[in-house]
């Protein structure tokens, strides 16, 4: 009897622990923004309940076949990370830009729309690009990107034609009842305000474009005053290795990660959430 009682008490405590949110130990890497950009690491603890993980543009397809196949390759490990974060109590926002209407009748989309309006400390970016507001590179804060993506970055041998390719988020990433779906900067802000969330984890694709520039992306979240961090093994770039600086695709991604660490926010690997090895693309050296 006494043992059964103890077990019940312990189970209740465990359940409470999950509800209260765990603390997450993160090893954040940043760089000084001088030319040599020396990296430094700092251990920090974030309260999972005050943290959101925003999944940027992990679409079901892409006009670039190579980009689409890298998303498919990354998705299972990506989903493991999302599930592990949610289990710790992190709030999950799925942000498949320009195709949230696919989810218009879902409770997760309605949750984002129903969050009460909260005023942002600075005005949200209003520039338009690719159908959403866009936070352009900030010349006062950052140097030009270290890769040339002016050709839109298809790295395939046979170049892909730009077309409307995506219709929804890739189905390999699970959406739980308590998650939200939005690609809108104000809705994202409202959701965070409602939950008292200070910490923003960004992950998804593509780092040189959407992850930095979207209205829920790194530049906007940093300027809104959030503690922002990028999961550096759960991202990719649109970078054609034939363009400057002429390094291979994955080395190009590493350079953009360094750029983020110098000028915008620290990064960490998914190991800090999953406690298993960080993700690596098969083609990465």
Residues near Zn ion (CB under 5 A): 64, 66, 154, 156, 160
Beta carbon of residue 160, minimum distance to Zn ion (angstroms, whole number): 3
Beta carbon of residue 198, minimum distance to Zn ion (angstroms, whole number): 38
> How many angstroms separate the Cα of 213 from the Cα of each of 21, 49, 209, 264?
30, 26, 6, 12
Strand-pair partners of 59:
169
Name the residue among 236, 206, 228 with its Cα closest to residue 52: 228
Q: Cβ(55)–Cβ(94) under 8 Å?
A: yes
Name the residue among 233, 235, 230 with its Cα closest to residue 278: 233
Beta carbon of residue 155, minimum distance to Zn ion (angstroms, whole number): 6
**Residue (70 or 219) nearer to Zn ion, CB:** 70
Question: Which residues, 6+ apart, have CB-to-CB distance to 6 below 8 Å?
Answer: none
Question: Which residues, 6+ apart, have CB-to-CB distance to 138 below 8 Å?
Answer: 219
**Residue (48 or 75) nearer to Zn ion, CB:** 75
**Residue (184 or 235) nearer to Zn ion, CB:** 235
Name the residue among 23, 44, 19 with its Cα closest to residue 227: 44
> How many angstroms separate the Cα of 112 from the Cα of each of 74, 91, 180, 182, 249?
26, 12, 6, 6, 35
Beta carbon of residue 146, minimum distance to Zn ion (angstroms, whole number): 21
Beta carbon of residue 243, minimum distance to Zn ion (angstroms, whole number): 13
Beta carbon of residue 99, minimum distance to Zn ion (angstroms, whole number): 20
Distance, CA of 231 to CA of 62 (rounded, Å): 21
**Residue (8 or 162) nearer to Zn ion, CB:** 162
**Residue (226 or 249) nearer to Zn ion, CB:** 249
**Residue (102 or 281) nearer to Zn ion, CB:** 281
Q: Cβ(280)–Cβ(250) under 8 Å?
A: no
């Amino acid at each position: 009897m006494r043992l059964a009682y103890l077990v019940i008490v312990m189970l209740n405590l465990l359940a409470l622990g999950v509800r209260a949110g765990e603390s997450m130990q993160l090893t954040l890497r940043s760089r000084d923004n001088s030319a040599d950009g020396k990296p430094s690491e700092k251990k920090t603890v974030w309260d999972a309940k005050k943290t959101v993980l925003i999944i940027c543009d992990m679409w079901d397809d892409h006009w670039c076949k190579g980009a689409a196949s890298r998303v498919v390759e990354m998705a299972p490990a990506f989903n493991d990370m999302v599930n592990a974060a949610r289990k710790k109590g992190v709030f999950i926002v799925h942000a498949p830009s320009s195709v949230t209407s696919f989810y218009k009748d879902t409770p997760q989309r309605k949750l984002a729309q129903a969050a009460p309006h909260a005023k942002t400390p600075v005005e949200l970016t209003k520039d338009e690009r690719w159908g959403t507001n866009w936070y352009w590179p900030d010349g006062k804060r950052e140097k030009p990107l270290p890769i040339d993506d002016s050709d839109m970055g298809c790295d395939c041998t046979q170049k892909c034609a730009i077309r409307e390719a995506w219709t929804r988020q890739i189905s390999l990433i699970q959406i739980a009842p308590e998650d939200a779906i939005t690609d809108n900067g104000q809705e994202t802000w409202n959701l965070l305000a409602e939950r008292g969330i200070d910490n923003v984890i960004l992950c998804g694709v593509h780092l040189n474009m959407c992850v930095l520039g979207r209205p829920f992306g790194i530049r906007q979240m940093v300027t809104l005053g959030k503690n922002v961090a990028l999961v550096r093994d759960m991202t990719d770039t649109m970078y054609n290795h034939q363009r400057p600086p002429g390094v291979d695709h994955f080395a190009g991604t590493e350079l953009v990660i360094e750029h983020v660490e110098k000028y915008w926010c620290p990064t960490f690997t998914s190991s800090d959430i999953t406690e298993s090895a960080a993700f690596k693309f098969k083609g990465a050296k």
